[in-house]
Amino acid sequence: MEHLDILISEEEIKKRVKELAKEITKNYKGKDLCLICVLKGAIMFMVDLAKEIDLLLEMDFMAVSSYGNEKTSSGVVKIIKDLDEPIEGKHVLIVEDIIDSGRTLSYLVKILKDRKPASIRICTLLDKPEKRLTDVKVDYVGFTIEDKFVLGHGLDYMQKYRNIPYIAVMKDEDN
Ligand code: IMP
Ligand code: MG
Query: Ligand 1 within 6 A of 98 CB?
Result: yes
Q: Tell me, what's the pLDDT at 86?
A: 97
- pTM for this structure? 0.93
What CA–CA distance (Å, rounded) separates 171 from 175? 10
Nearest atom (ligand 1) to Cα of 97: 10
| Residue whose CA lies nearest to ligand 1 atom number 17 | 149
| Residue whose CA lies nearest to ligand 1 atom number 8 | 100
Q: Which residues are CB-contacts of 108 (< 8 A; sequence separation ≥ 6)?
A: 38, 62, 64, 77, 94
What CA–CA distance (Å, rounded) separates 22 from 49? 10
pLDDT tens per residue, range 14-66? 999 999 999 999 999 999 899 999 999 999 999 999 999 999 999 999 999 86
Query: Ligand 1 within 6 A of 99 CB?
Result: yes
Contact between residue 66 and residue 37 where contact means Cβ atoms under 8 Å apart: no
Q: Tell me, what's the pLDDT at 89?
A: 97
- Taking Cα atoms as reference points, which of 79, 5, 77, 94 lies closest to residue 42? 94
Residue of 37, 80, 97 to mutate, ligand 1, most atoms within 8 A of C-beta:
97
What CA–CA distance (Å, rounded) separates 39 from 41? 5
